[in-house]
Amino acid sequence: MIGNTIFVPIYDLKILGAQRVTFSEMPTNLYNGAMCFLGYNTIVPQKLMNISQRDLEFYEYDKFDCGAKVCDDCQDGRAAIPLCIYLFFNIGYNIVTMLLLKEGSASFFFLINAVKLPITTFLFSSELVMGAA
């Protein structure tokens, strides 16, 4: 939350248009994100706003039936699992990077990063990682 609070002036730029997030919206977004992480949908179609969360889990609705926003899909860990996987690999990557810099030299670190860029570009443009077009 502290990081988001520091960047609020950037999030609040009018040039961002529909992606703009004002300071007054920040607590609501933080709450909605935490609820989605725990498996509760917070952005639902207007006609379903007054039904219980338990009933909402069994109601099939169109993800694009929420007006300007796309409805959440947070049940069954659909938000928590990818976030935890990302955090695991990101922390692991940062530890490996720190060890490379500590045990090797700065030149070795920059050489590894120079090799990593074309490999990453190739992987993210291949069907192996991205799937069929």
d(CA 75, CA 57): 7
> Looking up tokens 């949908």, which residue turns up?
41
Q: pTM value? A: 0.59
d(CA 27, CA 22): 10
d(CA 31, CA 4): 13
pLDDT exceeds cutoff 60 at 61 = no
* Confidence (pLDDT) at 85: 93
* Amino acid letter, residue 16: L
Query: Can you tell me the mean pLDDT for 110-123?
Result: 87
d(CA 7, CA 56): 34
Query: Can you tell me the mean pLDDT for 86-94?
Result: 92
Share above pLDDT 70 across residues of the chain, in percent, rounded to a whole number: 74
**Which residue ranges make up each domain of the chain?**
2-77, 80-130
Per-residue tokens: 13 = 């730029």
CA max distance for the chain:
60
pLDDT digits (tens, 9 = 90+) for 37-47: 888 877 766 55
Query: Can you tell me the mean pLDDT for 41-60?
Result: 58
pLDDT digits (tens, 9 = 90+) for 1-28: 566 667 778 888 888 887 888 888 888 8
pLDDT exceeds cutoff 50 at 64 = no
